[in-house]
Amino acid sequence: MESRKVIFRIKRFNPKKDERPYYKEYEIDVPKGMTILEALQYIKDNIDPTLAFRAFCRSAICGSCSVKINGYPKLACKTQVFNELDVYNTNILTIEPIDNMEVIRDLIVDWDSAIQKMEKMRPYLIPDPEVVPETLDEECKVYPHELKKFDKFTDCILCTTCYSACGIVRVDSNYGGPFPLARVYRFAVDPRDSLKKERAKIGFSFDMWNCVRCNKCADVCPKHIAPVDGIMKLRGLSIEIGLRNNPGARHVMAFYKSLQESGMLNEVLLPLRTKGIKGVLENLSIGIKMILKGKAHSPIMKPIKEHETLKEVMKRAMEVE
């Protein structure tokens, strides 16, 4: 069987013994089809029994084996070594613990911070007595068209891969993070839930508007959930329930207005529409520089050709249930 010599550069750290993390290299023969997790297990069984990592199901379902492979978080049990060698065109793979959580030992991180944050966001069904029967004798139906709204978010295995990749989690300690916020959305549109759209307020207080839509969470999720989609929809719900007087929501409405007026974004009016006079003043100096460089358009914009079709499309889309 085809095999390749691979060097695994593994980040090691035992807080009880080591002053700081260090890297240790292991060279092994990897047969085609071997996963990162199998390679780690091989190293532990045959070369270094002190190597610590976490894994249970080996089937991409328990979510415990997420590690960083050449800087990118993935489930070790789902990732084949050969594939990684090809992507990076190398025979050296650096394996590190995932980010945004404290390292317990070697490749094992403490999930508690992420999970505790999620718990505070009440991501569980709070039954609506009008919908959910009191006894188990009656069933509580969820119809396919209702399920479609939140179906994909129920696939989350809580592996925290997305959380570890999120740049906003890194810089904003109050930020809920991708999978917790997506979970809030999941219950906000569950017809059996009593809080319903009001759950958007939870997202609001956990800084959902700070999400930069970088799509890292969508990219790394082993279950293809795209938590960012849930966050976008949760923002939408917040606007629906009237949380409109904030820069995030006003920015959204500025876009809508621009499309209605001309079909193109009116960048000149954007600061004013999003943050009022404060927005203009905050960005005055850069605004002036841009004008001097000929980078501004007139605040009155000429509509695009067939602007009428755009307005019609927007009107009809807004009427859809």
Binding residues for ligand FES (CB under 6 A): 55-58, 60-65, 75, 77
Helices and strands, counts by H and E, the chain: 14, 7
Give the shortest CB-298-to-other proteins separation in angstroms: 10
Residues 176-195, mask of contacts with ligand SF4 (x by CB under 6 A)? --xx----------------
Radius of gyration of the chain from its Cα atoms, rounded to whole angstroms: 25
Give the shortest CB-18-to-ligand SF4 separation in angstroms: 29
Could you tell which of ligand SF4, other proteins, ligand FES, none binds residue 225, using a CB distance below 5 to 8 A set by kind? ligand SF4
Give the shortest CB-245-to-other proteins separation in angstroms: 12
Instruction: Determine the Cα–Cα distance for residues 181 and 204; give it in Å rounded to an integer.
Output: 10
Nearer to ligand SF4, 101 or 165 (CB): 165
66-69 and 72-75 as β-strands: parallel, antiparallel, unpaired? Answer: antiparallel
Give the shortest CB-218-to-ligand SF4 separation in angstroms: 7
3-12 and 92-96 as β-strands: parallel, antiparallel, unpaired? Answer: parallel
Should residue 309 be labelled a site residue for ligand SF4 when binding is judged by CB under 6 A? no
Nearer to ligand FES, 44 or 58 (CB): 58
DSSP string over 42-87: HHHHHT-TT-----S-SSSSS---EEEETTEEEETTT-BHHHHHHH
- What is the SS3 string spanning 200-251? HHHHHHCCHHHCCCCCHHHHHCCCCCCHHHHHHHHHHHHHHCCCCCCHHHHH
Residues sharing a CB contact under 8 Å with residue 147, sequence separation 6 or more, in sequence order: none
Give the shortest CB-36-to-ligand FES separation in angstroms: 10
Nearest Cα neighbor of 117 from 207, 9, 222, 11 is 207
Should residue 12 be labelled a site residue for ligand SF4 when binding is judged by CB under 6 A? no
Give the shortest CB-231-to-ligand SF4 separation in angstroms: 6
Should residue 295 be labelled a site residue for ligand SF4 when binding is judged by CB under 6 A? no
Should residue 65 be labelled a site residue for ligand SF4 when binding is judged by CB under 6 A? no
Should residue 208 be labelled a site residue for ligand SF4 when binding is judged by CB under 6 A? no
Interface residues toward ligand SF4, by CB under 6 A: 63, 156-162, 165-168, 178-179, 211-217, 220-223, 225, 227-228, 231
